[in-house]
Structure 1
Amino acid sequence: MIEVQHLHQTFGRGHRATVAVQDVSFSVAAGEVVGYLGPNGAGKSTTVKVLTGLLVPTSGRVTVGGVVPWRERRRHVARLGAVFGQRTTLWWDLPVRESLDLLRHVYRVPAGRFRENLAEFTALLDLGPFLDTPARALSLGQRMRADLAAALLHGPELLFLDEPTVGLDVVAKERIREFVRTINAERGVTVLLTTHDLGDVERLARRVMIIDGGRLLYDGALGELQTRYGGERELHAEYEHAPPSPEVPGLTLLSADGPRVRYGFSGAAALPIARVTAHAPVRDLTVREPDIEATVRRIYEGGLLRRTVGQAGAVPR
Structure 2
Amino acid sequence: MALIEAHGLTKVFRLADKSPGLAGSLRHLIRPRYQEHAAVRDVDLRIEAGEAVAYVGPNGAGKSTTVKLLSGIVVPTAGEVLVAGCVPHRQRRANARRIGVLFGQRSQLWWDLPVRDSLELLRDIYGVPERLYRAQLDKFDASFALGELLPVMARKLSLGQRMRADLAAALLHDPAVLYLDEPTIGLDITTKDQVRTMLRRLCEQGTTILLTTHDLADIEDLCQRIVIIDAGSIVFDGPIATIKDLLATDRTVHFALAGAAPPDLVRSLPGVRASQGGSSRHLSITFDRLMFTAGQVTKAVAAQADIVDMWIDEPRIEDVVRRIYARDYELR
TM-score (ref. length: structure 1): 0.90
Aligned partner of 1:198 in structure 2 is 216
Q: Give the paired residue count.
A: 306
Aligned residue among 3, 8, 12 for 2:14: 12
Alpha-carbon distance in structure 2 between the residues aligned to 1:55 and 1:82: 14
SS of the residue corresponding to residue 102 of structure 1 reads: helix
Aligned partner of 1:313 in structure 2 is none
Alpha-carbon distance in structure 2 between the residues aligned to 1:296 and 1:217: 13
Aligned residue among 119, 123, 141 for 1:100: 119
Q: What CA deviation, in whole Å up to 9, does each residue of 1:37-59 have, x standing for no partner?
A: 01111011111111000111111
Aligned partner of 2:166 in structure 1 is 147
Using the aligned pairs only, state the percent identity.
Answer: 45
Alpha-carbon distance in structure 2 between the residues aligned to 1:277 and 1:128: 57
CA contact (8 A) 1:141 1:172 kept: no
CA contact (8 A) 1:231 1:295 kept: no
Aligned partner of 2:273 in structure 1 is 253
Q: How far 1:213 sits from its partner (Å)? A: 0.5
Amino acid at match of 1:108: G
Q: How far 1:35 sits from its partner (Å)? A: 0.4
SS of the residue corresponding to residue 71 of structure 1 reads: coil
Aligned partner of 2:135 in structure 1 is 116
Alpha-carbon distance in structure 2 between the residues aligned to 1:292 and 1:226: 7
Aligned residue among 154, 172, 192 for 1:173: 192
Q: How far 1:192 sits from its partner (Å)? A: 0.2
Alpha-carbon distance in structure 2 between the residues aligned to 1:214 and 1:287: 36
CA 1:15–1:147: 2 relative to 1, 3 Å = closer
CA 1:220–1:95: 2 relative to 1, 3 Å = same
Any unmatched runs of 5+ in structure 2?
Answer: 16-32
Further displaced range: 173-182 or 187-196: 173-182
Any unmatched runs of 5+ in structure 1?
Answer: 310-317
CA contact (8 A) 2:58 2:324 kept: no
CA contact (8 A) 1:248 1:279 kept: no
Aligned residue among 227, 238, 241 for 1:209: 227
For the pair shown, which has the larger CA radius of gyration, 1 or 2? Answer: 2
CA 1:65–1:270: 2 relative to 1, 3 Å = farther
Q: How far 1:34 sits from its partner (Å)? A: 0.4
CA contact (8 A) 2:176 2:208 kept: yes
Alpha-carbon distance in structure 1 between the residues aligned to 2:323 and 2:218: 19
Structure 2 residue 289 is the aligned partner of structure 1 residue 271: no
Alpha-carbon distance in structure 2 between the residues aligned to 1:135 and 1:244: 62
CA 1:172–1:23: 2 relative to 1, 3 Å = same
Q: What CA deviation, in whole Å up to 9, does each residue of 1:166-222 have, x standing for no partner?
A: 23333333232222122222x321000011221211111111111010110111111
Aligned residue among 236, 240, 243 for 1:218: 236
Structure 2 residue 74 is the aligned partner of structure 1 residue 55: yes
Aligned partner of 1:230 in structure 2 is 248
